[in-house]
A and B are shown apart, each in its own frame.
Chain A
Amino acid sequence: MPKLNQEAELGKLRQDIVSKRDPNKPCITICSGTGCHAYGSEKVASAFMEELEKQGLGEKIDLRRTGCHGFCERGTLVVIYPEETCYLRVQPEDAPDVVQSVREKRIIDRLLYTDPITGEKIVRESEIPFYKYQERIIFGDNRKIDPQNIDDYIALGGYSALPKVLFEMTPDEVLTEIKKSNLRGRGGGGFPTGRKWESTKNAPGEPKYVIVNCDEGDPGAYMNRSLMEGNPHSVLEGLIIGAYAMGSHEGFIYVRAEYPLAVDNVRLAIKQAEEHGLLGENILGSGFDFKIEVHQGAGAFVSGESSALMTAIEGRVGEPRPKYIHTSEKGIWDKPSDLNNVETWANIPFIINKGVSWFNSIGTDRSKGTKIFALVGKVNNTGLVEMPLGATLRDIIYKIGGGIPGGKKFKAVQTGGPSGGCIPEAYLDSPIDFDELTKLGSMMGSGGMIVMDEDTCVVDVARYFLNVLRDESCGKCVPCREGIRQMLRIFNRITEGKGEEGDIELLEEISEVMRDSSLCALGQTAPNPALTTFKYFRDEYEAHIREKRCPAGVCKALISYYIDPNKCQACMICLRDCPAGAIEGGKNLIHVINQEKCTKCGTCLEVCPPRFDAVRRMSGEPIPVPIPQEERVISRKEKQ
């Protein structure tokens, strides 16, 4: 590939790529994002490749392995263009049938999405409710692009914002556009991106650095990963534009090493962009130079914090700096360094191409544009969701997520990972934007959204997040390290039934000091899951502490299983399945749980046939005394 030396050459390349592609030629796209990969999309893709060969259709039907489509719950996802026929849960064995059906222009009913209410089959991907109600801008091209092929990105108009910036705008004009767009950082705090850029641009010192933060680490969140894996060029294009605006000639992409596919794809993308003259020296003949280095993180959550991330890039242990100076002014090697999240960077080409007024038309008053959320937990349709800011939690959880599985009741949604909080049902209609979530005591974070149903114990959830931070705090400052240690201890006590009056108040006292005096945001926000659950679910804490009862029936030390002798039919099922051998009884002998041996795994409750419904989970009440041995015999009527 000869380097493109002018804007016109890029335009010509785009035309060439597009003209060689017949929009009516069938193309089978196979999602190869993380979720589908785990479902075995690799095997599905090989099966399709073999089958195309076998049926001699290699020339007539294209095959494309794309980035994450988002509907991860139903992987492996296969979409056939131009009809946009969407097949779910595709297995390697389905390949022959699917390939044949493409040739015959036939639809395979059994692989389609079935509407859970109407039972109607839905053919087109965009009409499946999960996709229908989304507004996919940043994430939209993921499913159409082979991330390892730059041509795919270019064909869809990729790298068209870059020449516009390089040849038609001054760096100041670019900065003004981003400032006017009111774009806010997608990584956590929601700081205005334009202001951050401005501060780096104006800070004294050379060189200046620009950095992509792909150290995503919230439990359950994987939107940055999917964007980096699925459409790395969109991030690169944003980064190059930012570098131009700020006068930077060197950039870093910080990706955690646990994201190997993201590392591979972005490295390849950089190589391809360099080969095309879109990166490196004299980009597109404009005279602007910019190079990018990929830095792999060693898996520390705290390295997502800007100063810790920069310390890690310098080659030292990723710990936050105590200095009260923004990294945008003094970052890597004390040089001005602008750090933005993957998703923030991916927004830039869109803002340049479509304009500020378009961007400002999406979202709420103070939060513009869309946001990608990782919708996980107790929800029917888990996956990645992109919505305009200002959409309600109810829209996301019910319209797109399809509600709570198994007819269970919604309890709370946890946003923002270990720094966020639990939001109860009363606020389901709150618009989601940076400020609203903060008002509720939670935060946007990078967009993680964990849905919880009535079987979730919020005390246990708050305990879980503290336990995550116990490992993930760097351990440098006292309030964070020792605060988490003591908070976790108290939480452990409460969930073990050893909670005492005054525990909540003590936890609140520690929380306040952690918020006030921790060195970095990790410690300052660490109490959030606890504080929001105190606020919205205080009665559950009180039940644990005062009544030694876990209302959700989760905390093992506070629950017991009991077989109702009046209902037990001595069917032997639970007795056989109990992994602890804790159930006594026999054929025609009513079963009784030996509470000493019981490990409270809940198997008996799960396996007891619903028509008997004899096993009960109890909490906060005494277990009835087992009936005497002699009364346990069941006399059944002889079969006639």
Chain B
Amino acid sequence: MKEVTLEIDGKEVKVKEGTTLLEAAKTVGVEIPTLCYHEKLEPYGACRICSVEIKSGNRTRLVAACVYPVEEGLVVNTKSERVAKTRKMLLELMLARAPSAKKIEDLAYEYGVDKARFEKESFFCILCGLCVRYCAEVKKKNAITFIGRGTEREVMFIPEIASRECPSCQECFDLCPTDGLRANFLLAQALTF
């Protein structure tokens, strides 16, 4: 495969064509935060926390590093003001949704989200879909899924499959960035299995 040269935070990077910006950044020690990314899963591009600023020609724009493939001569800035501002807002939004999620709290602290300007919700889940995708892509069981659309979207165990598959697996629990999944499972088990 062809090799591509690009610049990430001022560092020259040489990687194979088809590599994502996230993977390319890792090779030169540039850390990009992620929430919905997992190396065993297809990139999902939903949390947008990995947004980075790219420059091609005179245009700059934000892209999700977990999905965007490297390009020859691309200039990537993972720490620009625009990136920081975006991540900060995204974290503020997620924090309002799931105020007790440890991982979100930590990231929020790192990005200086000090005040909560939004009304808090009491969800446990940030809908990163790691559990749903892990179950579908790795375990191939589809015991957990998304239901609903828009702001009503949520994650739900499918009782018929989950009652059969989940008790002996539970591998997705450790992937969850919010601890909400175990509680969700126990609740589903108590109510529907």
- The answer to whether A478 and B47 touch across the interface, beta carbons within 8 angstroms, is yes
Query: Scoring A residues 491 to 525 as 1 if CB is less than 8 Å from chain B, else 0, what string do you get?
Result: 00000000000000010011011001111000000
From residue 47 to 103 of chain B, which have CB atoms closer than 8 A to chain A?
A: 47-49, 51, 61-64, 66-69, 82, 85-86, 89-90, 93-94, 96-97
Task: Give the distance in Å from the alpha carbon of A516 to the alpha carbon of B90 in the complex.
Answer: 11
Query: How many B residues are at the interface, by size bracket?
Result: 35 or more
- The answer to whether A475 and B152 touch across the interface, beta carbons within 8 angstroms, is yes
Number of residue pairs spanning A and B whose beta carbons lie under 8 angstroms apart: 106
Query: Scoring B residues 119 to 152 as 1 if CB is less than 8 Å from chain A, else 0, what string do you get?
Result: 1000000110100000000000000001011111
* Contact (A324, B68) CB under 8 Å given A477-B45, A517-B48: yes
- B18 to chain A minimum Cβ distance, whole angstroms, is 11
A84 within 8 A of B: no
CB contact between A517 and one of B90, B94, B146 (< 8 Å): that residue: B90
- The answer to whether A300 and B149 touch across the interface, beta carbons within 8 angstroms, is yes
* Contact (A473, B46) CB under 8 Å given A323-B67, A517-B86: no
CB contact between A475 and one of B44, B62, B148 (< 8 Å): that residue: B148
CB contact between B48 and one of A317, A471, A477, A509 (< 8 Å): that residue: A477
Minimal Cβ-Cβ distance residue in B for A514: B89
> Which among A365-373, A392-400, A480-488 touches the partner chain?
A480-488
* Contact (A473, B150) CB under 8 Å given A486-B118, A517-B48: yes
User: Which chain A residues lie closer than 8 Å to B63 at the CB level?
Assistant: 324
* Contact (A484, B94) CB under 8 Å given A489-B118, A506-B117, A517-B51: no
- The answer to whether A473 and B151 touch across the interface, beta carbons within 8 angstroms, is yes
A476 within 8 A of B: yes
A56 within 8 A of B: no
Task: Give the distance in Å from the alpha carbon of A473 to the alpha carbon of B152 in the complex.
Answer: 10
- The answer to whether A475 and B153 touch across the interface, beta carbons within 8 angstroms, is yes
Task: Give the distance in Å from the alpha carbon of A122 to the alpha carbon of B174 in the complex.
Answer: 75
B159 within 8 A of A: no
- Which of B86, B118, B151 counts the most chain A CB atoms within 10 A? B151
User: Which chain A residues lie closer than 8 Å to B119 at the CB level?
Assistant: 486, 489
A474 within 8 A of B: yes
Task: Give the distance in Å from the alpha carbon of A517 to the alpha carbon of B97 in the complex.
Answer: 18
Task: Give the distance in Å from the alpha carbon of A481 to the alpha carbon of B152 in the complex.
Answer: 9
- The answer to whether A479 and B93 touch across the interface, beta carbons within 8 angstroms, is yes
B180 within 8 A of A: no
- The answer to whether A470 and B45 touch across the interface, beta carbons within 8 angstroms, is no
Task: Give the distance in Å from the alpha carbon of A473 to the alpha carbon of B127 in the complex.
Answer: 14
Task: Give the distance in Å from the alpha carbon of A486 to the alpha carbon of B151 in the complex.
Answer: 10
User: Which chain B residues lie closer than 8 Å to A482 at the CB level?
Assistant: 90, 93-94, 96-97
* Contact (A478, B150) CB under 8 Å given A324-B68, A509-B89, A516-B82: no
User: Which chain B residues lie closer than 8 Å to A484 at the CB level?
Assistant: 150-151
- The answer to whether B149 and A478 touch across the interface, beta carbons within 8 angstroms, is no
B33 within 8 A of A: no
* Contact (A513, B152) CB under 8 Å given A324-B69, A482-B93, A489-B118: no
CB contact between B149 and one of A474, A479, A489, A506 (< 8 Å): that residue: A474
User: Which chain B residues lie closer than 8 Å to A513 at the CB level?
Assistant: 85-86, 89-90
A469 within 8 A of B: yes
- The answer to whether B90 and A479 touch across the interface, beta carbons within 8 angstroms, is yes
A407 within 8 A of B: no
User: Which chain B residues lie closer than 8 Å to A483 at the CB level?
Assistant: 93
* Contact (A485, B45) CB under 8 Å given A323-B67, A513-B85: no
User: Which chain A residues lie closer than 8 Å to B94 at the CB level?
Assistant: 478, 482
User: Which chain A residues lie closer than 8 Å to B126 at the CB level?
Assistant: 478
A23 within 8 A of B: no
User: Which chain B residues lie closer than 8 Å to A476 at the CB level?
Assistant: 46, 127, 129, 153
User: Which chain A residues lie closer than 8 Å to B64 at the CB level?
Assistant: 322, 517, 519
A613 within 8 A of B: no
Task: Give the distance in Å from the alpha carbon of A270 to the alpha carbon of B93 in the complex.
Answer: 48
- The answer to whether A516 and B62 touch across the interface, beta carbons within 8 angstroms, is yes
User: Which chain A residues lie closer than 8 Å to B45 at the CB level?
Assistant: 322-323, 477, 519
Closest 5 CB pairs of A and B: A322-B45, A475-B153, A482-B93, A513-B89, A473-B150
Task: Enumerate 17 A-B pairs (CB-CB under 8 Å) in ascending A order.
Answer: A300-B149, A322-B46, A323-B45, A472-B149, A473-B149, A473-B151, A474-B149, A475-B127, A475-B146, A477-B45, A479-B48, A481-B151, A482-B94, A482-B97, A486-B93, A516-B82, A516-B86
Binding site for B on A (CB under 8 A): 300, 302, 317, 322-324, 469-479, 481-486, 488-489, 506, 509-510, 512-513, 516-519
Contacts A475-B151, A519-B45 aside, 9 further interface pairs with beta carbons under 8 A come to A322-B43, A322-B44, A472-B149, A473-B150, A474-B153, A476-B129, A478-B94, A481-B150, A485-B151
